[in-house]
Structure 1
Amino acid sequence: MNSENDDNLYPLKQTASFRIPPKPSRVPSFRKPVIRHSEVGRTSSPKSNPRNTSNLRFEGRNSPIAEKHAVSDIPSDLLNQQALTYTSNILQPNNKPLDASAMAASKKLLLHTDPFKIAKHITYHDYKVCQINTKGLERMFFPVGRNLRKQIIERYQCMAFWVAITVLSGGSDIDEMVDILNVYIQVANELVHSLGNVFGFSALMHGFVLTTAC
């Protein structure tokens, strides 16, 4: 009996051959969202293609690089005077808050302009407000940069309020509100991925979660 049972047993030294699976990576994987751009305003030139912006350094006449030597340390009094005398092509001289004609013109610009072009425009003005060429990022941490800090905070708050107001009041129905929100999402994607403008991106995202404008 013992001999028959011993013949049916497997040898103790026999082991199954298998490969140890590799350890999973602890680095979080990030995948850039794919957003289809509208055909309106999109051209095939390398300047307007966001995929080629890694080698593109803000080319063009209105680019921050082109104004490297044109931007100077403008006094705060002169900036305040320019803000008081500024005239807009959208706003009328005696405009009211949330003017209907201004909101309609803004909605038209948002819906018929390429998101990458809007992102470049936002980045251009962020560059000027922060005064990067005149060591504005260094000066804002010292008492000398008090006015600069106020301007940057005001720029951030205006951007956030503008996003919330145009989404809530710019559309005449739910579909237009969704279209405007979709444009801002594409602009935010272009700001952070194509242009590396985290300041403008955070201002737009703050406008999405703003509760005081509701």
Structure 2
Amino acid sequence: MEKVEYKPLTIKDWAVADRPREKLLAKGNASLSDAELLAILIGSGSPKESAVDLSKRILMDINNNLDELGKQDVKALCRFKGIGQAKALTIVAALELGRRRKLSEALERVAIRGSKDAFDLFQPIVADIPHEEFWVLHLNRANKVIGQERTSMGGVSGTVVDVKLIMKSALANLSSSIILCHNHPSGNNKPSENDKQITNKVKAACEMLDIALLDHIIVAGNVYLSFADEGLL
């Protein structure tokens, strides 16, 4: 009896309506699963695995969490068999565009009404980065955003914060008030003693210059802590 060799189906072997690109054109982006959207970015799989199956394998490794996918850099993505540097760069670039789009939408908020507004603005900027960054949000007398600036960038467990640079930034923007923000890559949104000390130093400096320190937001992924809400200011 002649031995029959079975070959895995590729996307080209699928019904046209089930192919990710054709499906997107016919039914719209919302009809595609996360794996199918990722497969469009990847473009191709391998002789043993379709682009969709490769995408499913990547997503399974990160518990099907797109937030975790956004934290993967080129090196991390290249650990998956079938993902080379070019495909990894495409994925990273697409996710960065998504972050920037979200940031653009956040910046359309003309006024900060509470800690959630400040978090929504900063979360796309600092939530996914693997190191700590310290930012200042500048507001006018109506609490409308007039600028934002990163004042320091550090390592995984901390960053050096210079109060003089923060106040220089506030004066340069003619800020009536400011909101501080930094991220905790660990995912723990609890403030450290150093966080509290820096906040108190900035508050004292603000009082001398008649600038209001409205809040200090700690971003930890999709959650945050507000010094103002917690009565720590």
The TM-score, its normalising length taken from structure 1, stands at 0.30
Question: Larger strand proportion, structure 1 or 2?
Answer: 2
Question: Larger helix proportion, structure 1 or 2?
Answer: 1
Q: Which has the higher contact order (CA 8 A, sep 6+)?
A: 1
The TM-score, its normalising length taken from structure 2, stands at 0.28
Structure 1 or 2, whichever has the larger Rg, is 1
